[in-house]
Structure 1
Amino acid sequence: MILEKNNIYNGFKLQETKYINELNSEAMIFIHEKTGAKLFKLQNSDDNKVFCIGFRTPPKDSTGVAHIIEHSVLCGSEKYRSKEPFVELLKGSLNTFLNAMTFPDKTIYPVASRNSKDFHNLINVYLDAVLHPLIYNEPLIFMQEGWHYELNSPEGELIINGVVYNEMKGVYSSPDSLLYRYIPSSLMPNTTYGVDSGGDPDEIPNLTYEGFVNFHKRYYHPSNSYIFLYGDGEVTEELKLIDNYLKDYEKISPDSEIYTQKPFNEMKEIVIPYTISKEEEDKDKTYLSLNFSIGTSMDAELSLAFQVLTYMLIQNPAAPLKKALIEAEIGKSVNGDYDSSSKQPVLSIIVKNSEEENKEKFQQVVFDTLKALVDNGIDKELIEASINFQEFLLRESDFRGYPKGLVYYMGAMESWLHDESPLLHLEYDNHINKIKQALTTNYFEELIDKYILKNNHSSLVILKPEKGLGEKKAKDLEKKLKDYKSSLNSKEIEKIISNTKRLRERQQSQDSEEVLHSIPQLALSDIDKKAEWLPIEELQLQNTKVLFHDVFTNKIAYLNFIFDTSNVPEELVPYIRLLGDLLSKLSTDKYSYESLSNKININTGGINFVVNTSSNKDNTEDFKPMLTVKSKALIEKLPELSNLIGEIIKNTKFSEKSKILSLIREQKARMESLIYNSGHSIASLKVLSYLTPKGIYDETVRGLSYYRFLCTLEENYNDEYEVLINNLAKVKELVFNLNNLTISYTCEKEYYNRLEEALNVVSQYLNCDKVYKVSYNYGVGKKNEGLTTEAKVQYVAKGFNYKELGFEYNGALRVIENILTLDYLWNKVRVMGGAYGVNVNVLKDGSVYISSYRDPKLAETINAYDNIFNYLKDFQGGEREIVKYILGTISRLDFPLTPSMISDISDSRYFAGITYEDIQKERDEILSLNSETVQSFSSLFKMGMEENYICVLGNEEKIQSNKSIFENITKVF
């Protein structure tokens, strides 16, 4: 059906249509006649359909009201009165994406599905959730998701709990997160960007229930909405569905304008403390950040130009500003960020592991370096490389984790939210072409001069460590709560106890069958019974094994050289990861590292060196360690790609002593960020290292052990430099051997013959010595560890090996993951315990691990894990509930895959010995699951939890108060 401009379709007037070449999509812009709701559709052949409704939601304070609303509207609505329809959909729809996100100026609710019926179901539930939530009649939702006083008896301790409250305690425990919270407020203090929409834990308890519901009443109205549709869905059907929810509203003026910060006359400086432990060294722990307000987000060319410029100046290995700051020894790690999501985009230049006294030198180096670039001109090869890098990203459209439609929506909102066309940032060809003028003009030099050197709308943010600040704040809060409790009369205390009890009763209550049945659900007949076949052919080219994936890639070749590293001695294993971190970032015989970086970006879509492992599905002791050269380029650029890979792996120089040190420090800083922000992954890697040899290997190259390896290298760098480079050279020679090589190649079949030339080139750079495999004497076993930091929350991990207990893998375990994560543990650990998240993961090598995320509890969480067996033993799911869990499991298996994801997944299956028949068997076991199957796994989890393999990363006081759980307690920093 062809829609015509100015016609009305199911309440929506079509205002504009335009074909967007860059997205291969027809854009349609509508306005809802009755309410003024704005709607934007991108029509194309993508079956991964996306719907999103967003609202302009500018908070006035840092109580986190926008964030708490985002959580709370998904806890039941007028039509879908379940306690958590959102979780019911996670459990049992075919969604490929389901979430909600709070930004400083907007809140968005995206869903995606490849199944049309399921997609319409998701739209229904989400529209009812945002427009008709139960929050007006149920204050307990606010208490659960936001904050509440918790008290179990008159003599008990009064505490504050709540999901968002605990989430933000975790955020504020990370110096990186804290820095990014204060950067926008330093530049835009008089706007919505001057407060924290996520919520400051010190401010969240100031939010009242009345303020909470009034925020929703004001902003969650169709007149303030921005609705988006993407994919191959029938647009008139989608409009009809949406109009059913909007037609009962009248147009209003929501007064949600995002105000602009008046420019500063001079740079502002703010100093923010962050906590470290009393015993921790505070030297070189300061963060310095120079920040600049860059025009407005409505200037799409400027925004894209600054994405290119940020990469050019700070982010790539040849970045001149990064190089100058490292060489000036102002800090140990340098990075930069350009945030275009706010009305006034922000460029940040950040130095980590520095000192406050370096602030003047920091500014001087930045401005002197930039002035020299303006005066002398930027190297044109660097400019070309940086533009090509950005253009490759745009054209490849490989958004891992996010559906394409959602990425396009967020791009559209950068202008649409501020009353400009949603197409401004999506039609990028003209902007790229204008930016390419920089190859023959002073385009970027003029941008630097205008927006950085002569821009007073800037700030210097200093984040400095303060010993024991977290402990002091905890004691202050404890005293405040004690004083508050003392000020209450018996009636007021009884009210808090009563509210605590009422909340717990609600959390423990079960939704009725009638309520659960109101949530739309597909049938098993809507699921394809056949597993998706991922194309892979095992071929031979010049005695080298090739895994070929015949996939449409739009003339991009994904070429991976996979080197078996099992000939590297155990004591040198950490150097494999370090080698991967260094390669392509150091000079070679032919290129300086700056020139090498430019050549990579001009000729390819990237060359990366990744350490990974694959376990044998039939033998828990057997695993294959690998170093993979992951690369991609346009088909016609394969010769250049091959020569660059060969030059890097054969001729990289390890004589650049200071450069290697700076790269070690950079990797160390990244690991520190991982520890702060993803503590669950660190704790989980530790638990896995107690279970299998592969787990020990992975922890050695990816976990806390690798972080400590980097710390040791840095501390002893001058004394151990010769040993370091000798070890790197040894590992390089051992790994890059033709006899270790398997190639993975992904493109259209007509281009397969191009591979032979690439192999001929690369093989010239490889040695051909006989390979001798080594044995790793990894002794697995319980090493229960408490890893202490100044974080205000915990990451609690526990696991076991089911093969060691006599069990084999069964596809039903994938459903058990779903049931435990989104039902039992969601209720026990997240809803009742207050953690932000919890996950169960079952691996085919026999490992099972459970981890919580930003968790205020510790022993209570372990107790919840330990009682999984009782939940499974008593599980009584009706047919509809079983189908729901099966659907949710299948949705994770049938996720839409990009070409590079197809090759990665099929390669990993190949190395693990997993066949298509195994995948089909797994699917059959999932589809045939029943209540008895679920109950049958009770004994497995009882035996597994009794093994008692535990690791917790988190608050020192909390871990010490539970020290009987641990065999070892150590400080992380």
Structure 2
Amino acid sequence: MTLRINEVLHGFKLKDTKELKEISSKAYVFEHEKSGAKLIKIENDDDNKVFSIGFRTPPEDSTGLTHILEHSVLCGSRKFNTKEPFVELLKGSLNTFLNAMTYPDKTIYPVASRNEKDYFNLMDVYMDAVLYPNIYKYPEIFMQEGWHYNIEDPKDDLAYNGVVYNEMKGAYSSPESLLYRMVNKTVLPDTPYKESSGGDPEFIPDLSYEQFLNFHKKYYHPSNSYILVYGDGDLDKELGFLDQNYLSNFDRVEVDSDIPTQKAFQEMSENEFEYGVSEEDSLEDKTYLNLNFVIGNADEGELALAFEILAHMLLKTPAAPLKKALLDNGIGKAISGEYSGSIKQPVFSIIAKNCNEGDKEKFKAIVFSTLEELASKGIDKETVEASINRIEFELREGEYDGYPKGLIHYTRIMDSWLYGGDPFVHLQYDNYFENIKAALKEDYFENLIRKYILENKHSSFIMLKPKKNLNEEKQKALKDKLTDIKKSFSEEQVNELINKCKNLKERQNAPDTEEDLASIPMLSIDDIDRKAEILPIEERNINGVKVLYHKLFTNKIAYLNLYFNCDALNSDDVVYVRFLADILGKLDTKNYDYGTLSNKININTGGIAYSPVSYSINGDPDNFNPYLLINLKTLLNKLDNGVELLGEIIKNTVYDKEDRLLQLIKEIRSRIEGRLIDNGHRLALRKILSYCTEKGKYDEITLGLSYYEFLCKLEDSFSTEKQDIISKLKEVSKALFNKNNLIISYSSEEEDYKTLEEVAPKLVSYLEESDIDARVFSFGEIVTNEGLLTQGNVQYVAKGGNYIKKGFSYNGALNVLETISGFDYLWNNVRVKGGAYGVFANFRRDGGAYIVSYRDPNLKETIKIYDDMKDYLNNFTSNEREMTKYIIGTIRKLDYPLTTASKSEVAVANYLSNITSEDIQRERDEVLKADEKVIRSFAPLVQCVMEQDLICVVGNENKIKENKELFNTLEKVIK
């Protein structure tokens, strides 16, 4: 289609066009004349089409209004009058992405699908949701998703409940999350950014239903909208749909959503905040120190890219000079930071974790003296080149696990478009790289450091300190507050609250009518490809080493994965597989110090990553294959360089530098520790699987809480055990890096396979070549049913077992059971009624099965819901339409689009698990044949899993102790 500037198509006037060669696309900028809606079409040959509508939504306070509204508009609308169209779409759509996101200044609603019919269905539901939501008809939506007083009997104590309220209780439990929420508050205090758009649990109950509705009326209007359509869809059809069904119903209005600019500070802002630790915890090494600098404006494309590179250069590699200076001077155990560009005035942050209050001035002094020295004497040019190359490689590779490309482009567009800037300023980066590469000869980054950090007073310092019993004090204050509130209510008011809760429960319990459910558009089974996709994999051999080759278009990037079998290790040494993965490439080698090595890796590759992986043998609960996986990605013409660097790491790593080894142990421990509370569901489910499968025990040792505990022991005993640790590292690395242990996986086009053949002899030359004495792991008896205590305010509740060991077998329709339970029984009972943020079930091929909740205010009640799932399944009924929906939603998960890199990894995982293409097709056939009788047949399987009574709960210390009879042991998570 050829369009001219100012031409009108379906009410949309074309304002501009742009060739975006960096992403092989053409952009069209439109404005809908009647409604004022702004729209961009990114046209290319990507069949993973993306639609998103966003609104500028500056928060007015910290009640989480924007976040609650994001949840609530997806709970039914004018055309789609079910309680949760969002969930119905998850059940029965082939979407490749479906979500909504609240940012500090905007709310976006993106969807994606490779199926055109599905794409327009998704667009229809989302447009109706944001413009015509049921929030005006049903105040219970606000109560459910936001907050409400929870009370069922006049004698009961008052309590707060609500999905967002509980979600944010969990978010505010993590000190790192709390710190990040304070950054904008301290540097942009006269703007909406000072507020918590997600919601501060202390203030969420201040939000009224009237405020909530008024905010939607004001900001959710097409005149305040920013729409993207992306991919190979028909532009004429897309614009016609939006105009005729939605936008033509609205007249242009003035929406005052402009975000004020923060006036620059004359001096740095100093701030202190507190987070809670328990009475028994030490306060040592638990303080966070943080510096923040406001960096220009959002629409400065080159500056944004330059600071992304600078953040990488200063803080994110082993060679990073600022990170190294702080750690070498004993400031903290881990250093991090980032450039946050998705706000009107971007911010650059530097964070030191696990510090002490007394480190404050030293932290500042080292940061500024190091930056002054870098600005004056210059940054090592190899360090500069390394970071430029790494960021450029990632941008040009354009692979995004979990997110469609169109959504990534939309967020970058919004980083300037939302503030009135050129929408494409962050996508047209070729010229920026040309300018930035002047830094290889000139003082480009040195000048940035001086102007935007050393001479920039628009900055803040934050100290986040631990305080004993702070959480207990807050819980008591909350309890007292609710007691006082209840006392202030008359009997009539209390009864009114009880009635409101009753009405909420009645709405939650009432099933949607068949007529309402039929309003949700869905595909038919005929829209599904009955044949499973077969990922390319071919067994070859080079120099006596098995090669698994994947013929894929890789855009001249070589994806080389090395799988080193771990069977030669003793059971006690398994934990060193993960430890090696965490330190390889970060230590000196025979020919390079670790900083130089890091630079050479980033100059010559797109990264080398190390990770422990394991694959259960198809349907066998006791056997699995463990590997250390090394991923190397690089341009084809640099594969030889990449292999040479990898060989240097494998063969010549120096494990004897005690100071560096201890520094890495502290850093890794600190990094993991910072994630433990937010990842409680992962800790819990890994514990459950460790109770019931050998693979689960292995994974818990290498990926779970046990690994964190191992690091704690290493740090605490390092002075006396360091020689043993070093010896063990040498021993394990020698056992692993053996030619007879190795399987190579390689992805390229056929004509580029010769590149691997050329470098393979060099790769093999770095390896040992001795016979492998394979051993059988024996991890012995382990403690089950653990209560893992945190200072968090919510729980992660897991229960599971192994069904194959009880005589049941794997069936592909168990995938459908996951869909049904996750978006029906568990969703309705644990999330909707219980107030948890999320819940899901998983039934694995090796028989391992679990259910786990996320940010859950409950504990015992949730476990009872899990136990009662058998009754739900025994009585399960579904009409043909609903069953079709569940099947389509399941196929969506099976057919999720994979990146080039992940295609090869999934193909190898199937290969190493002895899962054949016939198995994959049979699983798909079992999904497609699933009916209510099949689902009912799983009731005994679920019952047998729950009756194994294997429980793990991560969460609030007091809550778990109140239910201590459920557990065999109680243990603190953070050491």
- With normalisation by structure 2, the TM-score equals 0.99
1:821 aligns with 2:822: yes
Distance in 2 of aligned mates of 1:673 and 1:399: 24
> Which position in structure 2 is the counterpart of 1:121?
121
Determine helix, strand or coil for the equivalent of 1:918.
helix
Task: Compute the displacement of 1:679 (Å).
Answer: 0.5
Indicate the residue corresponding to 2:106 in structure 1: 106
User: Could you tell me how far apart the structure 1 residues matched to 2:333 and 2:943 are?
Assistant: 47
- Cα distance change of structure 1 residues 903 and 276 upon mapping to structure 2, 3 Å threshold: same
Secondary structure in 2 matching 1:95: coil
Query: 1:630 and 2:631 equivalent?
Result: yes
Instruction: Report the residue type matching 1:74 in the other structure.
Output: L
Is 1:493 equivalent to 2:501 in the alignment?
Answer: no
Structure 1 length-normalised TM = 0.99
Residues 619 and 810 in structure 2, CA contact (< 8 A), matched pair in contact too: no
Q: How big is the shift at 1:2?
A: 2.3
Q: Distance in 2 between matches of 1:747 and 1:525?
A: 34
* Residue number in structure 2 paired with 1:522: 523
1:441 and 1:417 map into 2 onto residues whose CA distance is 34
Whether 2:716 is the aligned partner of 1:678: answer: no
The residue that corresponds to 1:361 in the other structure is 362
CA deviation string 1:524-564 (max 9, x = no partner):
00101100110000111111100000000000000011100
d(CA) in 2 for partners of 1:4, 1:903: 44
Aligned residue identity for 1:868: M
Shift of residue 420, structure 1, vs aligned partner: 1.3
What secondary structure does 2:29 align onto?
strand
2:240 maps to amino acid: K
Q: Which residue in the other structure is 1:371 paired with?
A: 372
Could you tell me which residue of structure 2 aligns to residue 556 of structure 1? 557
Matches within 5 A, 1:568-587: 568-587=569-588
Question: What residue in structure 2 maps to residue 927 of structure 1?
Answer: 928
Contact kept in structure 2, 1:693 and 1:780, CA below 8 Å = no
What residue in structure 1 maps to residue 319 of structure 2? 318
3-state secondary structure, aligned to 2:828: helix
SS at match of 2:804: coil
Mapping of 1:264-663 within 5 angstroms? 264-663=265-664
Which has the higher mean CA deviation after the structures are superposed, 652-661 or 901-910? 652-661
How much has 1:192 moved relative to structure 2?
1.1
Q: How many residues align?
A: 973
State the Cα deviation string for residues 27-78 of structure 1 (Å, max 9, x = none): 1110001111100011111110000000000011100000000000000001
Matches within 5 A, 1:217-236: 217-236=217-236
- Distance (Å, rounded) in 2 between the aligned partners of 1:790 and 1:597: 37
Q: Which residue of 1 aligns with 2:20?
A: 20
SS at match of 2:246: helix
Deviation string 1:385-427 (CA, Å, 9 cap, x unpaired) is: 1100000010000111000000000000000000112111011
For residue 799 of structure 1, give the secondary structure of its aligned residue in structure 2: strand
Q: Decide which moves more: 45-54 or 800-809.
A: 800-809
Aligned counterpart, 2:867: 866
Q: Distance in 1 between matches of 2:750 and 2:679?
A: 40
Give me the whole-angstrom Cα distance separating, in 1, the residues matched to 2:372 and 2:392.
27
Q: Which residue of 2 aligns with 1:31?
A: 31
Q: Which residue is 1:194 aligned to?
A: 194
Q: Deviations over 1:434-493 (max 9, x none)?
A: 111111111000000000000000100111000111111001101111111111111001
Q: Aligned to 1:851, what secondary structure does the other structure show? A: strand
Tell me the C-alpha RMSD between the 2 structures: 0.8
Deviation at 1:283, TM superposition (A): 0.6
CA deviation profile, 1:665-696 (whole Å, cap 9, x unmatched)? 12112211221111000011001100101100
Give per-residue Cα distances to partners, 1:849-884, cap 9 Å, x unaligned. 111000000001001100111111111100000000
Report matched runs for 1:735-746 at 5 Å.
735-746=736-747
Post-superposition shift, 1:782? Answer: 6.7
Preserved contact between residue 800 and residue 951 of structure 2 (Cα < 8 Å): yes
Quote the Cα distance in structure 2 between the aligned partners of 1:670 and 1:815.
Answer: 36
Q: Retained in 2: the 8 A contact 1:690–1:780?
A: no
Q: Which residue in 2 is equivalent to 1:7?
A: 7
Assess if the C-alpha contact under 8 Å between 2:95 and 2:113 holds in 1: yes
Which residue matches 1:169? 169
**Would the aligned equivalents of 2:691 and 2:782 in 1 still touch at CA under 8 Å?**
yes
Gaps in structure 1 of 5+ consecutive residues: none
Instruction: Give, in whole Å, the separation in 1 of the partners of 2:295 and 2:443.
Output: 18
Q: AA paired with 2:620?
A: N
SS of alignment partner, residue 76 of structure 2 = coil
For the residues of structure 2 that align with 1:36 and 1:969, how far apart are their CA atoms? 59
Partner of 2:677, secondary structure, is helix
Letter in 1 for 2:521: P
SS at match of 2:59: coil
- CA distance in structure 2 between the partners assigned to 1:657 and 1:334 by the alignment: 20
* 1:74 matched residue in structure 2: 74
Matched, 1:765 2:766: yes
Alignment of 1:804-953 (within 5 A): 804-953=805-954
Residues in 1 aligned to 2:401 and 2:781: alpha-carbon distance in whole angstroms? 34
Displacement of 1:963 in angstroms is: 1.0
Worse overlay, 4-13 or 77-86? 4-13
Secondary structure at 1:597's aligned position in 2? Answer: helix
Which residue number in structure 2 is paired with residue 790 of structure 1?
791
CA distance in 2 between counterparts of 1:241 and 1:421 reads 26
Q: Deviations over 1:335-394 (max 9, x none)?
A: 111101111111111000001111110010000001111111111111111100000010
Q: CA deviation at 1:4?
A: 2.5
Q: Partner amino acid for 1:636? A: N
2:193 aligns to what SS in structure 1?
helix
Offset from partner CA, 1:565-602 (integer Å, 9 cap, x none): 11111111111111111111111111111110111011
- Tell me whether 1:138 sits opposite 2:138 in the alignment: yes
Structure 2: runs of 5+ lacking an equivalent: none
CA distance in structure 1 between the aligned counterparts of 2:2 and 2:885, rounded to whole angstroms: 37
Q: Secondary structure at the match of 2:845?
A: coil
CA distance in 2, matches of 1:335, 1:884: 44
Q: Where in structure 2 are the equivalents of 1:53-72 lying within 5 Å?
A: 53-72=53-72
Q: Secondary structure at the match of 1:690?
A: helix
- Worse-superposed segment, 630-639 or 613-622: 613-622
Query: What's the CA shift for 1:780?
Result: 5.9
Per the alignment, do residues 782 and 935 of structure 1 end up closer, same or farther by CA in structure 2, a change over 3 Å counting?
farther
Task: Spell out, residue by residue over 1:942-964, the C-alpha distance to the aligned partner (whole angstroms, 9 max, x if none).
Answer: 11111111100000111111111
Contact 2:571 2:779 in 1 (8 A): no
Q: Partners in 1 of 2:434 and 2:846 — Cα distance?
A: 50
Distance 1:697 1:265 in 2: 55
Question: What is the rounded CA distance, in whole Å, between the counterparts of 1:758 and 1:911 in structure 2?
Answer: 24
Q: Which secondary structure does the structure 2 equivalent of 1:677 belong to?
A: coil
Residue aligning to 1:160: 160
| Partner SS, residue 176 of structure 1 | helix
Task: Please name the residue that 1:965 is paired with.
Answer: 966
**Contact 1:692–1:780 (8 Å) recurs in 2:** no
Determine what percentage of the aligned residue pairs are the same residue.
54
* Alpha-carbon distance in 2 for matches of 1:529, 1:674: 40
